Copies of this chain bind each other. A is one copy, B any other.
Amino acid sequence: MREVAALAGVSLKTVSRVVNREPGVSSELVRKVERAATQLDFRPNLTAANLRRAGQRTATIGLVLEDVSNPFFAAILRGVEEVAVQRGVAVFAASLDEDQNQEQQIIEELLSRRVDGLILAPTALEQGYLANEMRSGLALAFVDRAPRGVDGDVIVTDNRGATENAVRHLIGMGHHRIAFIGGVAALPTAEDRYDGYLDAMMAAQVKVPADYVVRDVRTVQQAERIVTALMQSANPPTAIFTAQNLISMGAVRALRSLGVERSVAQIGYDDFELADVLNPGVTVVAQDPRRIGRLAAEALFARIADAGRATATTVVPSELIKRGSGEIPPPRER
């Protein structure tokens, strides 16, 4: 910028005014400065500008997720990007991998870069370590799962209600032997879905054998093994509720390789690509993750603009999409 000023024969401040389109510069100088800037390939350094600028905003936000390559999270990122780009805000994306403990460390990294706000899909058990930051003005929004130990805007689906509804649908088809295969049990999402399952089962006064509930499943392969074992057990279920997209895919594999996909009912939480093309199509509880991302970003920007506003929890409805697998009746009792 100094060079531009020298070449244009004006002061630093005048260049700054032109670059930022501040009013009150004669059009002649504007032209001169612009010419010099082009000639020197000048590009303002946002980083330096923000250092001095009011509020110290960096026009960046961070998005911390479990794994961007999971389509569910990828769609959230997409939604966040969509609203961020409109505001000229850049998005740092970070995946946490298996290592839950990374959460805090990665967040520190982003805070060192002075992001204006953070959108977080919490994986650690507790987010109390963020309380300090929030007090000192960090804007925060949570997606998919409510945080623990700290307050903030939350965008979630109605995990419990939607699951209850789906399991009730299975019960309505005549099923009593309904298994539940869930994800990392420590996550609120997983817990809520499990509670929804129990709600439906208890409301219908259906007993839940201990071996019909498997939790803490993390991968497609693990889900496949578990469902395979379950179906080969002495008293296999007639229907399965799979509480997460990777688990659903694992179950799909298992049922198909056992050749029982037409006789065992399945409903999954989260939609996945090609679920409707399979035969039978897989009935799912579908969320709208891109919308969740958009809403989270909007909540975050609202909070950045007004740190004092009350926190809110937004529940995005999810929809039971019936494609066949959830509508398979149980075999006749003998």
Which A residues fall within an 8 A CB radius of B? 41, 43-48, 50-51, 58, 60, 62, 67-69, 71, 74-75, 77-78, 81, 85, 88, 90-95, 106, 108-114, 132-133, 136, 249, 252-253, 256, 272-274, 277-279, 290
Contacts and interface: CB of A to CB of B under 8 A. Distances in A.
Contacts of A67: 78
Nearest to A59: B113
Given A46-B113, A77-B93, 4 more contacts: A47-B113, A68-B78, A81-B93, A81-B95
A43 B74 contact: no
Contacts of A252: 274, 277
Nearest to A72: B69
A256 B112 CA distance: 52
Contact of A109 (B50, B88, B110, B111): B88
B77 A69 contact: yes
Contacts of A136: 41
Q: Which 3 A-B pairs have the closest CB atoms?
A: A93-B93, A69-B78, A74-B74
A274 B281 CA distance: 13
A317 B46 CA distance: 40
Contacts of A111: 43
A109 B90 contact: yes
A56 to B, nearest CB: 9
A58 to B, nearest CB: 6
A279 B277 contact: no
Contacts of A60: 92, 113
Contacts of A91: 92-94
A213 to B, nearest CB: 25
A90 B92 contact: yes
B94 A47 contact: no
A77 B68 contact: yes
Contacts of A108: 43
A45 to B, nearest CB: 6
A69 B273 CA distance: 12
Given A46-B113, A90-B113, A114-B45, A69 B290 contact: yes
A120 to B, nearest CB: 15
Contact of A279 (B77, B113, B279): B279
